[in-house]
Amino acid sequence: MMETLRVVVDALSRQGKENVAVSLVAESGQPLPEWEAGAHIDLHLDNGLIRQYSLTGSPTRRDRFLICVRLESQSRGGSRYIHERLKLGQTLTVSAPRNAFSLLPAQKIVLMAAGIGITPLLAMLESLEVSGTPFALHYYVKDRQSTALLRHLARRFQHGSCDIWYSSEGNSPRVHLPAELIQPEAGSHLYMCGPQGFMSHVKNQALAKGWQQEALHSEAFMAAAPADTTPQGDEVFTITIASSGASWPVPVDKTIAAVLQDNGVCVPLSCEMGICGACLTPVIEGRADHRDTVQSAAEKSASSQQVALCCSRSFSANLVIDL
Ligand code: FES
């Protein structure tokens, strides 16, 4: 049976607009189990849910576990509970740390994170700084107000660098790739964590630039959509633009944006992976199946909604948008 321990919520801190960091200390007062960068713990929440969260901060610290949780718009209860109900001093059961995303020995490590995918990569950065392994961290985030764990990142590092790129300032991963990725150095390994679209893009770019598959390591930090909207369950729907009334079918293997562009409609795109908000367009009629990570839960359930054309789909047979 999985080893568990009781912990107490020792601190809660806001980390950008939609993230909260949770510091957990052992109820017994004893040091916590050792862990390595890339590890995660299961959190047993009072509402009966068990959720996995990457440990972040310095792996050398045995006095606390630090996690950072984004409020997911499609939350099935985990992130919502943590954001809305978790209290200082509350006790919880957690699993011992497990690691399926370990750092391998390398001459240099390139870390690429998007959104809340920064959590395991911050732990890697801390670990590399201690071991003296050269590293470069590139963190892609929507805007300055959304940056998580900034206090840990905005400092000088002896063995590497940390750069934060904001989509709102024209530096989404679609238009910006770091030199370390474009010109792979022998003996380097690349670790990435973020939404699936981000990782597919980074992986494809890396392979195209000559990286070996064995040097690429990734961990998806979440399913942006609930289980019943996985791609296998996708269906064709119709997208209609309100200005002309023109409509086109959106097949399962194409985005709304791609269909619109194929038909000569201009779509403002930047990240093309649901993290920047450039393509958000008001919905006039129909029920959007939101797959972006840029809008909050409240925005996605508001009476007046916007849909991310680069990644979202539709629950209704027809979706009318304000274009
Ligand atoms: S282009 Fe960035 S969210 Fe759609």
Q: Does the pLDDT of residue 226 top 60, yes or no? A: no
Mean pLDDT lowest for which of 58-62, 157-161, 172-176, 266-270? Answer: 266-270
What residues contact residue 224 under an 8 Å CB cut-off, 6+ apart?
A: 72, 74, 195, 196, 274, 291, 292, 293, 311
Average pLDDT over residues 21-29: 97
Assign 51 a pLDDT band (cuts: 50, 70, 90): confident
Pocket test for ligand 1, best of 279, 296, 299 (most atoms within 8 A of CB): 279
Q: Is 197's pLDDT higher than 80?
A: yes
Residue where a domain terminates, one of 197, 220, 243:
220
The predicted structure's pLDDT at residue 221: 56
Provide the residue range defining the domain that includes 305.
230-321
pLDDT-derived band at 236, boundaries 50, 70, 90: very high
pLDDT band, very low/low/confident/very high, at 100 (cuts 50, 70, 90): confident
For residue 224, the model assigns a pLDDT of 39
Q: Ligand 1 — pocket residues by CB below 6 A?
A: 269-272, 274-279, 292, 294, 308, 310
Choose the final residue of a domain: 220, 245, 277. Answer: 220
Same structural domain for residues 211 and 120? yes
Q: By three-state DSSP, how is residue 314 classified?
A: strand
pLDDT, mean of residues 220-235 = 50
- What is the predicted pLDDT for the residue at 68? 97
Same domain for 26 and 55? Answer: yes
What is the structure's pLDDT at 74?
A: 61
The percent of residues in the chain predicted with pLDDT above 70, rounded, is 93
Total domains present in the chain: 3
Output the CA torsion sign for 174, 180, 185, 190: negative
Q: What number does the ligand 1 atom closest to the CA of 269 have?
A: 1
Ligand 1 centre to CA of 314 (Å) is 16
Residue 195 lies in a domain: yes
Q: Tens digit of pLDDT for each residue in 123-169?
A: 999 999 999 999 999 999 999 999 999 999 999 999 999 999 999 89
Report the alpha-carbon distance of residue 278 to residue 281 in Å, rounded. 9
**CATH number, position 163:** 3.40.50.80
pLDDT grade for 1, boundaries at 50, 70 and 90: very low
Residue 9 lies in a domain: yes
**Burial environment of residue 294 by CB neighbours within 10 A (0 to 12, 13 to 18, 19 or more):** buried
Element holding 200 (H helix, E strand): helix 196-208
Nearest residue by C-alpha to atom 3 in ligand 1: 274
Tell whether 40 and 128 lie within a shared domain.
no
CATH number of the domain within which 293 lies: 3.10.20.30
Residue 225 domain flag = no
State which ligand 1 atom lies nearest to the alpha carbon of 279: 4
Of the three residues 55, 79, 99, the one that is the final residue of a domain is 99
Task: Using the mean position of ligand 1's atoms as its centre, give its distance from the Cα of residue 272 in Å.
Answer: 4
pLDDT (0 to 100) of residue 285 = 96
Q: Is 191 a member of any domain?
A: yes
| Lookup: tokens for 86 | 């978790």
* Rounded Cα gap, residues 120 and 125, in angstroms: 9
Among 270, 300, 321, name the best residue to mutate to test ligand 1's pocket (greatest count of ligand atoms within 8 A of Cβ). Answer: 270
Q: Tell whether the model's pLDDT for residue 46 goes beyond 60.
A: yes
Q: Which residues is 51 bridged to in the sheet?
A: 43
Quick one: tokens of 275? 């993290």
pLDDT over 90, % of the chain: 68
pLDDT at residue 206 greater than cutoff 90: yes
Same domain as 88, residue 130: no
pLDDT at 2: 56
